[in-house]
Amino acid sequence: MVFSSHVFLIYFLPAFLLAYFLTPSRWRNITLLLASVLFYSWGAPDFILVLLGSTVANFYLVKAMCHARKLGVKKLFCALAILLSLGLLAYFKYANFFVDNLNSVLASLGLGTLSWTKVLLPIGISFFSFQSVTYVLDTYRGINAPMRRLTDYVVYIIMFPQLIAGPIVRYTDIADQITSRRRLRWGECLQGFYRFVIGLSKKVLVADVLGRAVDVILGGDIASLDTGTAWITIMAYTMQLYFDFSGYSDMAIGLGRIMGFRFPENFNNPYISRSITEFWRRWHITLGTFMRNYLYIPLGGNRKGRGRTYFNLWLVFLLSGLWHGASWNFVLWGAYHGLFLVIERLLGVGGRTVDFRSPVLRSLAAVGGTLYTFVVAMVGWALFRIDDLSLCWQFVSRLFAFDFSGFALLQQHQFYAILAVSLAFAFLAAFPWGRKLQQWTFYTRFTPLQHIPVWLVAVFLLFFALGALTASDFSPFIYFRF
Amino acid sequence: MNLKNITRFVPSTLCLLTVALMLLVSLQSIRLVVPVQPLYGTFDDPVKPQLSYTDFCSGVWQAQVDKYLRQTHGFREPAIRLYNQYQWSLFGQSPVPQVVLGRNQYLFEPYVVEDYYESRMYKYTNSPEELLRRFDIESQRLAKIQAILAQYGTHLFVVCWPSKDHIYPQYLPSRGNLTRPKGPTAIDNYPPLFAQYGIPCINYCSYIEQRRDSLPYYFFPQMGTHWSTIAATYAFDSVMRYMRQNTSCLIPQVVLGNPYSDYTRYPDADLSQMMNLIRLPHPRREQYVDVHLAPGQSAIPRSQRPGLIVIGDSFFKNINLAFPLDSLFRYCHYWYYNSTIHYDSLYDNTNQIDLVAQLLDADIVMLAYCSGQLYDLGVNTLQSARNFTTQALVQLCFDTDRIQQTIDDICSRIRSDQSWFERLQRKAEQQSRTIDEVVVDDAEYLLFTQPEEFFPELALPGIPTSRSSRIANAIHQ
Q: In sequence order, what are the beta bridge partners of B370?
A: B161
Last residue of a domain, one of A141, A166, A181: A181
The answer to the question of residue B86 being in a domain is no
Last residue of a domain, one of A181, A200, A228: A181
Last residue of a domain, one of A141, A157, A181: A181
Phi and psi, residue B203, nearest 5°:
-105, 100
Co-location of A218 and A141 in the same domain: no
Give yes or no for residue B156 having a pLDDT over 90.
yes
C-alpha span between B142 and B345 (Å, rounded): 27
Q: What is the mean pLDDT of residues B284-310?
A: 85
Co-location of B61 and B105 in the same domain: no
Q: Number of structural domains, chain A? A: 2
For the beta sheet containing B307-312, the strands, ordered from the edge strand earlier in sequence to the opposite edge, are B201-203, B155-161, B364-370, B307-312, B331-336, B341-342
Last residue of a domain, one of B380, B397, B414: B397
* pLDDT (0 to 100) of residue A474: 61
Co-location of A423 and A470 in the same domain: yes
The answer to the question of residue B305 being in a domain is yes
Co-location of A26 and A162 in the same domain: yes
Q: Are A234 and A382 in contact (CB under 8 A)?
A: yes
The answer to the question of residue A357 being in a domain is no
Co-location of B160 and B27 in the same domain: no
Q: Are B158 and B151 in contact (CB under 8 A)?
A: no
The answer to the question of residue B460 being in a domain is no
- pLDDT tier at B421 (50, 70, 90 boundaries)? very high
> Phi/psi zone of residue A409: left (φ > 0), alpha (ψ -120 to 50 degrees), beta?
beta
* pLDDT (0 to 100) of residue A206: 93
C-alpha span between A5 and A470 (Å, rounded): 10
Disruptive mutation site among A121, A412, A460, A470 for chain B (greatest number of B CBs within 10 Å)? A470
Pairing assessment for the beta strands B364-370 and B155-161 based on DSSP bridges? parallel
Which among A44, A448, A459 has CB closest to B8?
A448
C-alpha span between B287 and B76 (Å, rounded): 35
Q: Is B82 on the interface with A (CB under 8 A)?
A: yes
Which among A410, A471, A480 has CB closest to B84?
A471
Decide if the complex's ipTM is over 0.85: no
Q: Number of structural domains, chain B? A: 3
Which among B14, B69, B270 has CB closest to A451?
B14
Name the closest residue on chain B to residue A205, using Cα atoms. Answer: B83
Co-location of A74 and A87 in the same domain: yes
Q: Are B344 and B368 in contact (CB under 8 A)?
A: no
Name the closest residue on chain A to residue B22, using Cα atoms. Answer: A14
- pLDDT tier at B388 (50, 70, 90 boundaries)? confident
| H or E element that contains B78 | helix B76-91
Co-location of B312 and B426 in the same domain: no
Verify whether the Cβ–Cβ distance A471 to B90 is below 8 Å. no
Last residue of a domain, one of B57, B74, B91: B74
Which among B11, B83, B317 has CB closest to A186?
B11
Q: Are B43 and A476 in contact (CB under 8 A)?
A: yes
Q: Which amino acid belongs to residue A84?
A: L
Please, which residues 435-454 of chain A have a Cβ atom closer than 8 Å to chain B? 447-449, 451-452
C-alpha span between A279 and A263 (Å, rounded): 21
Domain around B287 = 100-397
The answer to the question of residue B333 being in a domain is yes
Name the closest residue on chain B to residue A43, using Cα atoms. Answer: B59
The answer to the question of residue B319 being in a domain is yes
Domain around A108 = 6-181
Co-location of B284 and B369 in the same domain: yes
Burial of A280 (0-12, 13-18, 19+ CB in 10 A): buried
Q: Is A482 on the interface with B (CB under 8 A)?
A: yes
What proportion of chain A, given as a percentage, has pLDDT over 70?
A: 95
Co-location of A120 and A149 in the same domain: yes
Co-location of B379 and B306 in the same domain: yes
- pLDDT tier at B363 (50, 70, 90 boundaries)? very high
Verify whether the Cβ–Cβ distance A7 to B93 is below 8 Å. no
| H or E element that contains A22 | helix A13-22
- All residue ranges of chain A with pLDDT < 70 are 182, 350-356, 406-411, 473-482
The 10 Å Cβ neighbour count of residue A396 is: 17
Co-location of A176 and A192 in the same domain: no
Pairing assessment for the beta strands B100-101 and B107-108 based on DSSP bridges? antiparallel
Tell me the shortest Cα–Cα distance from B125 to chain A, in angstroms: 18
Q: Is B69 on the interface with A (CB under 8 A)?
A: yes
Angle between helix A328-347 and A306-324 (nearest 10):
150
Which among A6, A449, A476 has CB closest to B7?
A449
Tell me the shortest Cα–Cα distance from B7 to chain A, in angstroms: 6
* pLDDT (0 to 100) of residue A152: 87
Which among B10, B22, B73 has CB closest to A6?
B73
Q: Which residues contact B317 (CB under 8 A, 6 or more apart)?
A: A479, A482, B226, B267
Verify whether the Cβ–Cβ distance A479 to B317 is below 8 Å. yes
Co-location of A413 and A480 in the same domain: yes
- Smallest CA-to-CA distance from B415 within B450, B449, B444, B440 is with B440
The answer to the question of residue A466 being in a domain is yes
Verify whether the Cβ–Cβ distance B176 to A410 is below 8 Å. yes
Last residue of a domain, one of B348, B373, B397: B397
Give the count of alpha carbons within 13 A of B120, CB side only: 23
Co-location of A99 and A229 in the same domain: no
* pLDDT (0 to 100) of residue A279: 92
Verify whether the Cβ–Cβ distance A408 to B11 is below 8 Å. no
Co-location of A53 and A130 in the same domain: yes
Choose the most confident range, by mean pLDDT, from B73-77, B294-298, B328-332. B328-332
Co-location of B203 and B344 in the same domain: yes
The answer to the question of residue B466 being in a domain is no
Give yes or no for residue B1 having a pLDDT over 80.
no
Co-location of B176 and B321 in the same domain: yes
Verify whether the Cβ–Cβ distance B274 to A455 is below 8 Å. no
* Residues of B whose CB is below 8 A from A212: none
- Comparing B410 with B349, which gets the higher pLDDT? B410
Co-location of B245 and B386 in the same domain: yes
The answer to the question of residue A262 being in a domain is yes
C-alpha span between B113 and B115 (Å, rounded): 5
The answer to the question of residue A292 being in a domain is no
Q: What is the mean pLDDT of residues B437-448?
A: 90
* Residues of B whose CB is below 8 A from A190: 11, 14-15, 18
Verify whether the Cβ–Cβ distance A482 to B42 is below 8 Å. yes
The answer to the question of residue B8 being in a domain is no
Q: Which residues contact B232 (CB under 8 A, 6 or more apart)?
A: B226, B315, B318, B319, B321, B322
Co-location of A76 and A153 in the same domain: yes
* Residues of B whose CB is below 8 A from A471: 79-80, 83-84, 95
| H or E element that contains B395 | helix B388-397
Please, which residues 153-212 of chain A have a Cβ atom closer than 8 Å to chain B? 186-187, 189-190, 193
Indicate which residues of A carry an active-site annotation.
324
What proportion of chain B, given as a percentage, has pLDDT over 90?
A: 25
Cis peptide before B200 (omega within 30 of 0): no
DSSP state for residue B44 in the 8-state scheme: P
The answer to the question of residue B89 being in a domain is no
Q: Is B63 on the interface with A (CB under 8 A)?
A: no
Quick: pLDDT tens for A266-276: 999 999 998 89
Co-location of A73 and A203 in the same domain: no
Co-location of B345 and B372 in the same domain: yes
Q: Is A339 on the interface with B (CB under 8 A)?
A: no
Residue B132 to residues A103, B367, B442: CA-CA distances in angstroms? 50, 20, 26
Residue B353 to residues B68, B316, B361, B446, B477: CA-CA distances in angstroms? 35, 21, 12, 21, 15
* pLDDT (0 to 100) of residue A481: 37
Verify whether the Cβ–Cβ distance A45 to B56 is below 8 Å. yes
The answer to the question of residue A386 being in a domain is no
Quick: pLDDT tens for A44-95: 788 888 888 889 999 999 989 988 888 888 889 999 999 998 898 888 888 8
Q: Is A34 on the interface with B (CB under 8 A)?
A: no
The answer to the question of residue A354 being in a domain is no
Q: Are A271 and A427 in contact (CB under 8 A)?
A: yes
Co-location of B166 and B279 in the same domain: yes
Co-location of A147 and A55 in the same domain: yes
The answer to the question of residue A105 being in a domain is yes
Disruptive mutation site among A466, A469, A472, A473 for chain B (greatest number of B CBs within 10 Å)? A466
Q: Is A433 on the interface with B (CB under 8 A)?
A: no
Q: Is B276 on the interface with A (CB under 8 A)?
A: yes
* Residues of B whose CB is below 8 A from A16: none
Q: Which residues contact A118 (CB under 8 A, 6 or more apart)?
A: A96
Co-location of B236 and B311 in the same domain: yes
Q: Is B10 on the interface with A (CB under 8 A)?
A: yes
Q: Are B388 and B381 in contact (CB under 8 A)?
A: yes
Three-state SS for B312?
Answer: strand
Quick: pLDDT tens for A184-199: 788 889 999 999 999 9
* Residues of A whose CB is below 8 A from B90: 414, 417
Co-location of B224 and B203 in the same domain: yes
Q: What is the mean pLDDT of residues B38-63?
A: 82
The answer to the question of residue A327 being in a domain is no
